[in-house]
Amino acid sequence: MPNKRKVAILGATGAVGQRYIQLLQGHPWFEISVLAASEKSAGKKYKDAATWLMETELPKEIAEMPVANIDVKSCEQAGDFDLVFTSLPGDLAGPTENEFGALYPVFSKASAHRMDKDVPLIIPEINPDHIELIKVQQKQRGWKGFITTDPNCSTIGLAITLAPLMQFGIKQVMVTTMQALSGAGYPGVASLDIIDNVVPFISGEEDKMETEAQKILGKFDGKAIKHADFQASASCNRVNVKDGHLESVFVKLDKEPSIDEVEAAFTKFKGEPQKLKLPSAPAQPIIVRHEKNRPQPRYDRDAGRGQSVVVGRLRKDPIMTLKYMCLSHNTVRGAAGGGILSAELYVAKGLA
Ligand code: NAP
């Protein structure tokens, strides 16, 4: 077991920051030492700064911790830390992550640096080799630390299901999302906008879903990532569900595998986290369900402690090759759980 790393969480009071706090309780490799958020929260005790949204109790020692500002000096004054989890709004994350990345390993949930050429975009089961890109980044930027990113919360479910389909040659992907409210953070979408309603627009989301999976499924040649060569089209919707993004996926393949072959590819799909037995790795990254009406957010989002993607309604498509539904927990696998799993991979590989 590696020595315990002390971690700082930037954006600790938000929907994702709270999930980090919850999931890091009793973690064998990481302990929380610094919590940081906006000026409105800084200087307060965490319990007075955050509206605790998790289903479990706010841990007593976290409740009493002071909240720091999100700059390096304030965080270093608040406590020692070895690595940083960030869950900040995208525009703010860019410069803040650069400031921390120069000195510390930064595990980012924001979009600001995801598509930078020298920044890895990681799903540990799919592209663990891409983490070596931080060596290129450190050399180019002259940094002691680094920035590594996780995909958008709706890309994660999609990309995990596309990875085992790569062997059949992916040509085109079309996806329509039904995304949970917690995906918009806290307080997020106004109640009067979403009660009795579906909002057929999420700012910036479709661009991310149409580009990120190609980077994740691309090949790293030791210097740069060559993106996978398929087209993707996304249509994103906000629905009145607390947690769990449901996606309707259509895929056109070069080959014509049978449904049994596709199901076997999904079920067999495993990667480095399972091989290395990382603490947050689900035993089964993809769970296939056979009921006609699953997956559903309320019943399936916590599968594999929220780290598994649940697939259902797998069938042939008369226009594309295949269609299916997939569901992933947006603040666990899609955010804090994914970030922690990435950090475990870096630690296991001696890079953090
Ligand atoms: P959120 O609930 O709105 O939380 C935002 C956090 O950032 C809070 O801690 C907030 O602190 C802090 N913050 C806001 N403005 C700040 C400022 N000017 N200076 C310093 N700190 C500031 O948002 P979230 O849902 O946790 O999302 C955080 C990031 O993760 C975003 O980039 C989002 O796109 C990404 N993400 C979210 C999800 C999801 O499911 N929610 C999934 C994947 C990725 P205060 O409380 O003090 O304002």
> Are 169 and 130 contained in the same domain?
no
> Are 132 and 165 contained in the same domain?
no
Q: For residue 186, give both structure tokens.
A: 């806290």
Per residue in 33-89, pLDDT (tens digit) is 999 999 999 999 999 999 999 999 999 999 999 999 999 999 999 999 999 999 999
Q: Percent of the chain beyond pLDDT 70?
A: 100
The CATH number that applies at residue 166 is 3.30.360.10
> Are 106 and 142 contained in the same domain?
yes
Q: Is the pLDDT of residue 27 over 90?
A: yes
> Are 36 and 137 contained in the same domain?
yes
Q: Is the pLDDT of residue 2 over 90?
A: no
Q: For residue 310, give both structure tokens.
A: 């649940």
Instruction: Quote the pLDDT of residue 1.
Output: 76
State the chain's mean pLDDT as an integer: 98
What is the distance in A from the centroid of ligand 1 to the CA of 249?
A: 28
Range of the domain at 281: 153-329
> Are 145 and 45 contained in the same domain?
yes
Count of Cβ atoms closer than 10 Å to residue 277 Cβ: 10
Per residue in 97-154, pLDDT (tens digit) is 999 999 999 999 999 999 999 999 999 999 999 999 999 999 999 999 999 999 999 9
CA dihedral of residues 227, 229, 230, 233 (deg, nearest 10): 40
Widest Cα–Cα separation across the chain? 61
> Are 179 and 206 contained in the same domain?
yes
CA dihedral of residues 266, 131, 217, 210 (deg, nearest 10): 110
> Are 140 and 207 contained in the same domain?
no
The CATH number that applies at residue 109 is 3.40.50.720
Of 338, 327, 123, the closest CA to residue 239 belongs to 327
> With bands split at pLDDT 50, 70 and 90, how would you rate the model's confidence at 216?
very high
Dihedral sign for Cα 115, 120, 122, 126, please.
positive
> Are 30 and 102 contained in the same domain?
yes
> Are 301 and 314 contained in the same domain?
yes
Mutate-to-test residue for ligand 1 from 41, 51, 87, 107, highest number of ligand atoms within 8 A of CB: 87
Per residue in 299-326, pLDDT (tens digit) is 999 999 999 999 999 999 999 999 999 9
What is the distance in A from the centroid of ligand 1 to the CA of 116?
A: 21
Average pLDDT over residues 182-210: 97
Domain count across the chain: 2
Looking at the chain, how many residues does it have? 352
CA 80 from chain center: how many Å? 26
> Are 188 and 141 contained in the same domain?
no
What is the distance in A from the centroid of ligand 1 to the CA of 107?
A: 14
Per residue in 326-340, pLDDT (tens digit) is 999 999 999 999 999
> With bands split at pLDDT 50, 70 and 90, how would you rate the model's confidence at 13?
very high
Which residues approach ligand 1 with their CB closer than 6 A? 11-17, 37-38, 40-41, 70, 87-90, 92-93, 109-110, 153, 182-183, 185-186, 330-331, 334-335
Instruction: Quote the pLDDT of residue 230.
Output: 98
> Are 161 and 251 contained in the same domain?
yes
> Are 276 and 183 contained in the same domain?
yes
